[in-house]
Amino acid sequence: MIKPPDTSVLVVDDDPSCCQSMVEPLQRAGYHVESTTDALAAYRQAVSGHYSLVVTDLRMPNMCGTQLLEDIRQVHPTMPALLVSAFPDRQALACARQLGVRVLPKPFSSAVFLAAVTALLSSADEAAEP
């Protein structure tokens, strides 16, 4: 898949080092990346901006990742998303399944992360084609 130049990804993780560990490989791969460590700020960014994908941590203060995605999808119902978590529990996994969102367990390598992002964006591109 050739990535279009306007592919934007929003990365959300309350841990700045985890956030940066996802931002850097995306930027090296040529994606336009914006990030935040605050779920409420992420919601505002997501609904006012145009992103091809949202990557969010599952457990964060103020709002969990599944709630963030539910809220974003009220405005952008087809927004592709990826949840990442070091502590995925049954309830969170069930909620992710209901949202149709993959959960990528932490820790993960940059290669595994980029493969997951590429697969999600490819699926979204295929679904958008007439």
Domains of the chain: residue spans and CATH: 8-121 (3.40.50.2300)
Task: Look at residue 42 in the predicted model and tell me its pLDDT.
Answer: 96
For residue 1, name the pLDDT band (cuts at 50, 70, 90). very low
Above 80 in pLDDT, residue 57?
A: yes
Contact call for residues 12 and 36 (beta carbons, < 8 A): yes
Residue 100 has what DSSP assignment?
T
Above 90 in pLDDT, residue 128?
A: no
- Please give the angle made by the CA atoms of 96, 101 and 107, to the nearest 5 degrees: 85
Question: Percent of the chain scored above 70 by pLDDT?
Answer: 92
Phi, psi of 11 (to 5 degrees): -110, 130
* Overall average pLDDT of the 99-126 stretch: 90
What does the alpha-carbon distance between residue 65 and residue 38 come to, in Å, rounded to a whole number? 11
Task: Look at residue 58 in the predicted model and tell me its pLDDT.
Answer: 93
Lowest mean pLDDT among 7-11, 31-35, 37-41, 49-53: 49-53
| This prediction's pTM | 0.91
Highest-confidence range of 16-25, 42-51, 114-123, by mean pLDDT?
Answer: 16-25
